[in-house]
Structures are given as structure tokens and as C-alpha cells.
Structure 1
């Protein structure tokens, strides 16, 4: 009976895992299609098929990921997020290019020397030029901004729905919080910088800002690097002696060090470089620009300080002695196993195994001061 119940639970878990995976990809595909639809209203219709290609590959990716990975997701890289971004980001680029063209057209039509940063855009519906339209009337600049904001929301919600893979729930929560912070910084950088007058009417600067923003979006495709390692387990011992604190050194390739370095390379350093360039080259000096420059400098300094700490001072772990006593109802054999990891509380629980053995687990915290 217990074995049947366990088997049914596995089937239910597998079913729910696949439902959430399909739902996440449906959200990605829906937003991708809306973005492409909007792009086809303002650009050449042939671009529609090109931008739909990553969404078509999303179906193939789902099948491959589901049947060729152990836990329904890859360890280091998330191809579904990459394909979603490959469909949406080019569309956002094209929408911003169209906004620039509208400003230039307005400047030439009215005989102005420079384009007007505060010009008003005409309100349009989605698909209004194709005979089928959605009754949602927004200015052209708000279409680009809204689609970009929704993309960040779906990146976080989609990552939450996608299978955890080899991540624990604790690591998944870390990943979601990390993505939330990255999304806020990236959205602020793109929207605030593109609204600066010197950038607003300069095609080269618009391209530079969008390039840096696209570069920072690669962070959402990486998984394992952005969370700390799981609990470390020591070798089983045959006695019940308390363990001394141990130190672990991950070298220069620990996941946390990679996370800190990649954050600087993909986000903080490019953002700081672009802001300093605008300040020095175009004299864009205001309160918000100064604040974000100081913020980027502080973040980079703190990140490198953390890297030095991890390299010079390996992390100290306290061992927890877990005494596991297994009682076999037939042979009455007793086994004593010690496992070490970072559990901060004591507890007792019972597990009923499929072979009719009852295991009583007693967690005893053994923390010894470092001599």
C-alpha cells in the first residue's frame, strides 16, 4: 500500500512539474507574440517570421529539456529564457528605433534644428494596421515601455514556474530575489538613460544604451552560478564524537565568486561606464545621474571586497552530528551513521520506507568552538 501511494505521488509530482513548465513557456510565447505583433505594425512585415523563429524553437526546447534532463531543467543554463529573450529583445530594439525615426520625421517636418525630447506620440492600437486590432490605445513610447516592463515580470514569474532542476527550494528563492534586483536595475538603466535629452535624439547613444542593456539581460539565462552551494556533507563516521568546525576553500571557481565577478562584468561595470561617458562627454550631470554613479562605484567596490574575503578567508562550517538509527523489524539490526552539514536546530522524525523499515532520525547539533 505504501509503495503504491509513493508511486502515485511520483506521478502527480511529474504531472504538476510538466504543467508548470508548459505554463511558463506559454507565458513566454504569448508575450513574445504580442511584442512581434506590435513590431509588425511599425516595421516591415517580413520581420514577423524572423522573430517567431525563437518561439518555434521553444517547443523543441521543451521536449528536449523534459525528456533529456533528470529534473526537468538544465544545471547552469536556461535555454527557454534564452529563446524568450531572443524573440522579445530584438522587437524592443526595433520599437526604440521606430521612436527615433518618428522624432527625426517630426524635426524635419517642422524645420527644427534638434528633435524635441518632450514630443507627444500618436496613440495606436495593437494590430491596427492589419485589420485585426485589440482595443488597447497607447502612445508609441508607452508600447515600448510597457512591453519591456512586462518582460521583466514574466522573467521572474516564469523562473518561479519552471522546474527547479538541481536547485533546492532555498536556492530557488535566492535566485528569484537575485533576478528581482537585476530586473529593477536593468529597467531603471534603460528607461532613465533613454529619456535623457542627449540620448533621446542620438542614434549612436540609443544603440549603445540598448547594447549594454541587452548584455545585462544575459544574467537571466544563467542559473547555478547565481546561488550559493547546497549543504556540504562529510564522510560517515562510526562513532558519535562531536565534530570540530571545518573550513572549505572553493578556490577561484566557487559559484559565489563567479556570481560576483559576472555581476560586475555584465551589469555594474557597463552601467557605470555608460553613465560616466554621458557625464564627461555630454555634461549630463543631475541628481539622479550622480546617485546612480555613486551607487555603481559602491557596488563594484563591495563586490570585489567580497571576492577578496572569499579568497583569503575560506568559509567556516560547523558540523552537525546526525545520528541515524535504523531498526529492521526482522533482523533487529542497528546502524549508526553520522552525516555533517549546516543544520541549526534539533529535531526527531520518523520515516516509513518502502521495505517496511522504520527509521528514527535524531538530529543532534554539535558545535565546537574553534581552538
Structure 2
């Protein structure tokens, strides 16, 4: 199998996995709510199909360099479904807590399989059945964690495009760390102050959705945190123009996106839980300290990158100034040489001719003389030539 065919197969397999997870998420939402309007969320899968055709036709299955549109469209198909499921469960918890009269089916929280009846063909009943018995809350957590797992697995299977193998391996390691932070972020839902507060739940879902955008930006994950692991030493070069995106260096851009999309929002929310809602649990205090330390390290890294950039710029200016000085010195020498009088040039020619004749007349004697006498004669000739040059000034 050729490399191009294998690239296309890998691209198609990943998009099929994305589409399957999106369909299961929408299906679960329909089973819970029995509202057929939620099937309109599947239109995002049509965008995924269109994106696959464009990528396969224009790029031969290879991914784009800085942005991964297939991951972004995948998030568009799954994230809204999880939002609606979380809001549905939130309303259900609030109603149960307030002892509102409801049907027994509404209160049912037993583990159920996921089934769908497609009708009958020639007397045969067609049904899709996923034999996994989970409660409603477990289904949501499973879909959320499958989302992160497929983002990591999909990035590993997708053609690497312009990424090197070293960059891809570092990218996957950073994806795993980022996914672990996001999973830890959902630990906030276990706090009673959060589980029954609709505003806090919506804020958490919003921050969670914002943090997922990192997976669609290849630059952010590759540049922002790879130096924290210490796996690969950083090599500094003076060709900084190859390492820029827009107006900023790639490292600066990645660090800023990482802080804005994940670490800063996570820290703000956890500090809000501590100081406003008095959530002083061990997990919340630990993760708050962790986010604070990560932000401090990222800011320190940002300062180091800026200092390195300044040193590179100063070195480049020094090299350019040195080259300019050498070129000006050469031009000055040529100007002085061209400004010599004709008499000086004639005298230099006569002196060189006399030395040549003298040397030809005493070849045998010259060959028998020691080497230091030859060097003395050469030195005298050069001194006479320089004295003649100085006399013309």
C-alpha cells in the first residue's frame, strides 16, 4: 500500500470515529429527552463530510499546518449535545431536591442500555442496540471522557502533515496532560454548591468548551507547554523569522493561548468557589494551587522567550554592523588606492623592476644564502613600498 493511499485511509478512519461519537451523543440526547428537534445537531456531521472531501481533494488527506478543521467540526457536533444533557440533568437534580411532584419515569435513575428501533423490513425487526448499562449521569461522563480520548487518538492517527515525528510525539504528550486537567476540572460538579447552582454549571460548561478549542489549534499544544516536560532540549537559532506566526513568535503565541483558554479561566473559577461559595474541599484547594503554579511557570517561560528574542536581535544587529564596517573599510582602501598620483605608481613600478633585476642577477648567491636573509630582503622591499605610499599623502 502506497503512502498516499495509507494517508487517505487514516484520514477517513478518524473522521468516521468522530462521526460515530457525534451520532451516539445526539442519540443519547434524544433517548433522554424524546425531542426529535435535537437531531438537527447532526447537520454538523454534514460539515465534517464536506471538510473530508476538501481535505482529501486538495491536500491528499494531509492535515493543515496550524489549524485542524476536522477536530473543530467534531467539537461542534458533540459539545452542544453534552451541554443539553448536562442542563437536562441539572434541571432534574434541582426538581428532585425541591421535592416537586413528577412522574416515576422522570425520577428513574436506573442503568439502561442504548436502543433504537428502526422499524421492520420483510417482517424482520431492525434495532440498534449498544449493550452498555449506565445511569444517566454515567452516560454524560462517559461521553465527555470519550470526547477527550478520541481527540488524542484521532490526532495520533491523523496524517501528521507538516509536523515532524518529534513534534507529533510531543503534541500527543501535551494533549494527554491537557485532557487530564480538563477531566479534573469536572470534579467541581461533585460539590453540592455547584451541582444545584445553574449559573455555576453554565459557567463551568462554558470554560470547558473554551478549553477544548486548544485541540483544534496545533500550534498551541506543540509550543505552549512542551518545555515543561524537559523531554527535548530547546535549540536556539538566529533564524527567528521561521518561528513566527503573524506578529509574535510561535512560543509566545502558544503560551498566551494556553493561559487564556485553559489555565486562567480554571484558576478564576476555582478561586471563585473558594472565596465566594466557601468550597474548601481538598481537591479544590489542590487544583487551585496547581493552576496558580502552572500560570507562574508559563509567565516565567514567556519572559525567558522575550529575553532570548532580545538577545537574538542584539546579536543580529552586531553581526550586521560588523559586516557593514568591513565593507566600508574595503571601499575606503580602494578609494585611497585609486587616488594615488601617477608618479607614485611609476616609482612603485621602477622599485619593483629594480628588485626583480637584482634578484635575477644573483640567483646562485641568493639560493646559497640563509632563509633569514631572504626574509630581510623581502621586508626591506615592502618597507620601501609603504614609505613611498606614505610620502604621497
| Fold conserved between structures, TM > 0.5 | yes
What's the counterpart of residue 324 of structure 1? none
Q: 1:260, CA displacement in angstroms? A: 1.0
Is 1:149 equivalent to 2:139 in the alignment?
Answer: no
What's the counterpart of residue 160 of structure 2? 164
Asked if structure 2 preserves the Cα contact closer than 8 Å seen for 1:212 and 1:270, the reply is yes
Is 1:127 equivalent to 2:115 in the alignment?
Answer: yes
What's the counterpart of residue 351 of structure 1? none
Q: 1:128, CA displacement in angstroms? A: 6.5
- The 1:107–1:73 alpha-carbon spacing in structure 2 relative to 1, beyond 3 Å, is same
Q: 1:44, CA displacement in angstroms? A: 4.8
What's the counterpart of residue 359 of structure 1? none
- The 1:45–1:120 alpha-carbon spacing in structure 2 relative to 1, beyond 3 Å, is closer
What's the counterpart of residue 297 of structure 1? 292
Secondary structure at the counterpart of residue 163 of structure 2: coil
Is 1:13 equivalent to 2:3 in the alignment?
Answer: yes
Asked if structure 2 preserves the Cα contact closer than 8 Å seen for 1:149 and 1:187, the reply is yes
Distance in 2, Cα, partners of 1:269 & 1:120: 38
What's the counterpart of residue 199 of structure 1? 194
- The 1:71–1:225 alpha-carbon spacing in structure 2 relative to 1, beyond 3 Å, is farther
Distance in 1, Cα, partners of 2:237 & 2:29: 57
- The 1:129–1:283 alpha-carbon spacing in structure 2 relative to 1, beyond 3 Å, is farther
Give the unaligned 5+ runs of structure 2: 102-106, 120-126, 225-235, 313-393
| Counterpart pick for 1:189 among 173, 185, 199 | 185
Richer in strand (by share): 1
Distance in 1, Cα, partners of 2:214 & 2:220: 10
- The 1:198–1:14 alpha-carbon spacing in structure 2 relative to 1, beyond 3 Å, is same
What's the counterpart of residue 262 of structure 1? 257
Secondary structure at the counterpart of residue 313 of structure 1: helix
- The 1:224–1:88 alpha-carbon spacing in structure 2 relative to 1, beyond 3 Å, is same
Distance in 1, Cα, partners of 2:44 & 2:299: 36
Quote the RMSD (CA, aligned, Å): 2.4
Is 1:307 equivalent to 2:319 in the alignment?
Answer: no
Q: Which residues of 2 match residues 184-333 of structure 1 at below 5 A?
A: 184-190=180-186, 192-228=187-223, 247-249=238-240, 253-314=248-309
- The 1:163–1:305 alpha-carbon spacing in structure 2 relative to 1, beyond 3 Å, is same
List per-residue Cα deviations over 1:220-270 (Å, max 9, x = no partner): 0111343259xxxxxxxxxxxxxxx96454576111111111111000000
Q: 1:301, CA displacement in angstroms? A: 0.7
Give the unaligned 5+ runs of structure 1: 1-10, 112-118, 230-244, 317-371
What number of residue pairs does the alignment pair up?
Answer: 283
Asked if structure 2 preserves the Cα contact closer than 8 Å seen for 1:21 and 1:162, the reply is yes
What's the counterpart of residue 329 of structure 2? none
What's the counterpart of residue 134 of structure 2? 138
Is 1:51 equivalent to 2:51 in the alignment?
Answer: no
Q: 1:289, CA displacement in angstroms? A: 1.1
Distance in 2, Cα, partners of 1:226 & 1:295: 19
Secondary structure at the counterpart of residue 199 of structure 2: helix
Is 1:178 equivalent to 2:168 in the alignment?
Answer: no
Q: 1:294, CA displacement in angstroms? A: 1.0
List per-residue Cα deviations over 1:194-223 (Å, max 9, x = no partner): 111101011111100000000000000111
List per-residue Cα deviations over 1:23-66 (Å, max 9, x = no partner): 00111111111111100112253333321011111111011012
Asked if structure 2 preserves the Cα contact closer than 8 Å seen for 1:226 and 1:255, the reply is no
- The 1:50–1:219 alpha-carbon spacing in structure 2 relative to 1, beyond 3 Å, is same
What's the counterpart of residue 57 of structure 2? 67
Distance in 2, Cα, partners of 1:140 & 1:160: 30
Distance in 1, Cα, partners of 2:5 & 2:62: 11
- The 1:110–1:43 alpha-carbon spacing in structure 2 relative to 1, beyond 3 Å, is closer
Asked if structure 1 preserves the Cα contact closer than 8 Å seen for 2:11 and 2:158, the reply is yes
Secondary structure at the counterpart of residue 72 of structure 1: coil
Is 1:93 equivalent to 2:93 in the alignment?
Answer: no
- The 1:66–1:219 alpha-carbon spacing in structure 2 relative to 1, beyond 3 Å, is same
Of structures 1 and 2, the one with the larger relative CO (CA 8 A, separation 6+) is 1
